[in-house]
A and B are shown apart, each in its own frame.
Chain A
Amino acid sequence: MNYRTFNVNEVASAAKDLLPHAGTSILILLAALAGGILMGLLLTFLLHARSPVLSLIARIYLRVLRGAPAVVLLLLVFYGLPVLFSLIGIGTLTQTNRLFAVILTFALMASAQMANVFTAAYGAIPKNQLEAAKAVGYTVRNRFFHVWLPQGLRLALPNLANTATWLLKEGAVAYTIGVLDLVGHAQLRISSQYGGGAVETYTALALIFFVLIRLIEVLFHGLERRASVHLVKGAGSGGR
């Protein structure tokens, strides 16, 4: 008989063990999101660049990232980075580099998503605003920082929330290269009990993920509301 019983107390104790390690998962998420936004902005510029070579490079990059499974990209970055580093002549593989490999991988994944998000946001901003700004003498930089970015970020917020929850979920593969995030610690806990309490530990993990994702959604929903406070009737930002 190989049937195990489900122990609710064990779920609570697993949750208590795992919760302190949510920090690592959140750190990976935030760093990857920040990196993804920056790279995504750059990618959006390349995509819409006048030079056909630059936009071709950006499109190939997006193509590759569209078909890349997170776990495969992670393995490639993890094993490829030390080679890249030794070519430049710095560093060896350590735990920090593991974390760095994870963050870099998911920043790359996020950048492709963000490029699509920003492209959509770019299309949603009325062109007459940019033309008006140009007509009154705004430089390219001013148009970007004072017209495009504030509205683009607001329009991108709902998709940013999606990207954030997606990153948190995809980030769960980080444990496969030995990063001790939530999943990594769950695996440690199970193996320290010789495979005991696996179902309970995974249940606790599922609950933690569920709560974290709801938290991200609530947070972004609040941000969206704050960002659109000025959009009262009659004072719309959409021009006339």
Chain B
Amino acid sequence: MAANAFVTTIREIIPGLPLTLVLTAVPLVLALVPGVLLGYLRSRGRLAYYLTGAYVTLFRSLPVVLQILFAYSWLPSLLAGLAAARGWTVDVFAISPVWYAIAVLFFNTLAALIEVYRSAFSAVPAREVEAARAAGFAESRVFIQVRLPQAFMFALPNLASATVNLVRMSALAYLMTVPEMTGRARMAAGLTFDTITAYGVLLLAYVALCFLIDSAYDLIYGRFMRRLHGTAGVRGLT
């Protein structure tokens, strides 16, 4: 019986994996470029520092659950009101909750990435920027050839953590009836009445996924380090 529940659970959870991956990859990819730019601005200008700081503080002060409840109860009626006022012919209530989940996860990931890149850009040694300028590099070239590659390398471990956190956050999308892994595990628990197997397998699935993500980042980090040290030798002798 237990073995049967185990098989049923796995069969139920696996179709939820693509959605979990989408809920992770889409917000991450969308947040990557604005995250780098806003993180850079946050490490530089005073005004940008306070503006991005307000954004980061807002999203870091609100539980993701609350944001999801908020989005799910408020966004549809807001959009419906907007559509009615503008005379749009879209049926707002037919929009898949996946989009709301992606929106919430995107805003939170952006807040995390801004902080990741702020500290990464701050860690780039000032002497290297000065040396590049003294050698006659234009500011755009200083950014692309000196700041960005190093900031990216400094950011990688925290980027791994941000991605893992995103995977974990995506589990909350089931509250919006999104049938990702957690939502489907709950269905499996309802089918088999074996809640422990359902959530045990689910936990292992998340742990395995996060382990793979961490390993992938480790691989990229290793390659990047070798390249940075091997060819250009930017930080070679320090």
Contact = CB atoms under 8 A, between A and B. Distances in A.
Nearest to A6: B74
A68 B199 contact: no
Interface stretch (B25-33, B206-214, B217-225, B228-236): B206-214
A3 B196 contact: no
Interface string A61-81: 001101111111101100110
B148 interface: no
Contact of B203 (A73, A172, A202, A214): A73
Contact of A69 (B81, B206, B211): B206
A73 B199 CA distance: 8
Interface string A1-23: 11110000000000000000000
Given A169-B63, A206-B66, A3 B84 contact: yes
Given A66-B210, A69-B182, A199-B73, A80 B196 contact: yes
Contacts of A205: 66
B21 interface: no
A213 interface: yes
Contacts of B80: 2-3
A224 interface: no
A176 B172 CA distance: 10
Chain A: interface size category: 35 or more
Contacts of A214: 61
Contacts of A79: 195-196, 199
Interface string A101-130: 000000000000000000000000000000
Interface in B65-81: 65-66, 69-70, 73-74, 76-78, 80-81
A171 B171 CA distance: 14
Contacts of A75: 195, 199
B187 to A, nearest CB: 13
A68 B207 contact: yes
A183 B64 CA distance: 12
Contacts, number: 114
B133 interface: no
A124 B31 CA distance: 34
Contacts of A72: 171, 182, 185, 199, 202-203, 206
A210 B170 CA distance: 22
Contacts of B207: 63-64, 66-68
Interface of B: 60-66, 69-70, 73-74, 76-78, 80-81, 84, 93, 164, 167-172, 174-175, 182, 185, 195-196, 199-200, 202-203, 206-211, 214
21 contacts: A2-B80, A66-B210, A67-B167, A67-B208, A69-B169, A72-B182, A72-B185, A72-B199, A72-B202, A75-B199, A76-B199, A76-B203, A79-B196, A168-B63, A169-B62, A169-B63, A169-B64, A172-B63, A183-B66, A206-B66, A213-B60
Interface of A: 1-4, 63-64, 66-73, 75-76, 79-80, 83, 165, 168-173, 175-176, 183, 198-199, 202, 205-206, 209-210, 213-214
